[in-house]
Amino acid sequence: MIRKLLAAALLLGVAALAVFWWLTAPAALSESQRASLTEGDAAAGEAVFWAGGCGSCHAEKSAKGDAKKLLGGGHRLDTPAGVFVTPNISPDSETGIGGWTLDQFANAMWNGVSPAGRHYYPSFPYASYVRMTGEDISNLFAYLQTLEPVSRASEPHELPLPLKLHRGIGLWKLAFLDAAPVMTGIGEDETLLRGRYLVEGPGHCGECHTPRTAFGFGGMDKSRWLGGGAAPEGDGKIPNITPHDKGLGSWSAGDIASYLETGFTPEFDSVGGSMVSVQENMARLTKEDRAAIAAYLKAIPPVGD
């Protein structure tokens, strides 16, 4: 009897492992994803580069101006889960992404999967990039190939043992990786739709400005979209940027657009902290894109702190 019970338990364990392995398999590009990729336009890709803030994480932490285009990585994100170290995404063929194909780059951006077929940690904000168009991803990849190669080996993350097991990230993706827009009831106005795309996709604003679910292991709580959250690194709080009294309720759309361009609030305070680099990136966008972001932030539901 005991042998039969042990055998049944073993079979159940093997079956459970097989199901886990199947559910958590890293994704390949779908046919529709691959079909949406285009011949990249590097000139158009520069705007995507600034909208996505690539240099804010992959260049030196204090980089300014064109130094943000030196994407050797090494930025340490010291979080409660451990230290995540940003990789080299310069076009260096040995230590960066110079040897990648467009398909491999797109699979990383949309599905969070490396060329070696391993899950990336969601410290890489592919949960937002999954909403980007194939055209923008193609253009960004073309632009990155024009930048100066940086020879610098990527460093490993410093994580506790359970989090070193990449396969489990597949379960996180099943729960939280979703290409659908967060805000679906904003109508068909082109400015609002453009703002939604920039904020929810390449701008990945929700990654910092949205609180995380209590038991979601880092999933964004979309019911409190952009309502502010704990700072990813250290103490402090990322502010509420919804049109609530505790957020941007007293700011006009023009105030928001001006802040993104100049770094000054309506009270003439200046931008500070990690937002300095983000604002510098936003200042590189067109006036129309900054206005679209502002219009979207005024149109979303207000969320209290």
The more confident residue out of 186 and 72 is: 72
Residues 6 or more apart in contact with residue 187 via CB below 8 angstroms: none
What residues form DSSP beta bridges with 82? 79
Q: Per-residue pLDDT tens for 215-224?
A: 546 789 999 9
Q: Which residue has the tokens 């940086």?
A: 150
**10-49 pLDDT, tens digit each:** 666 666 567 755 677 898 999 999 999 999 999 999 999 9
* Residue with tokens 């103490």, as numbered in its chain: 235
The pLDDT of 87-115, averaged and rounded, is 98
Both tokens of residue 113? 């999967």
Asked whether the whole model's pTM tops 0.75, one would answer: yes
Least Cα distance to 169 among 26, 278, 265 occurs for 26
Q: For residues 101 and 288, what is the distance between their CA atoms, to the nearest angstrom?
A: 32
Structure tokens, 250? 């007293």
The mean predicted confidence, pLDDT, of the chain is 91
Residues 95, 72: Cα–Cα separation, whole Å:
9
Distance CA 44, CA 56 (A): 19
Residue 109 belongs to what H/E stretch? helix 102-111
Burial 24-33 (b: 16+ CB within 10 A, else e): bebbebeeeb
pLDDT of residue 80: 82
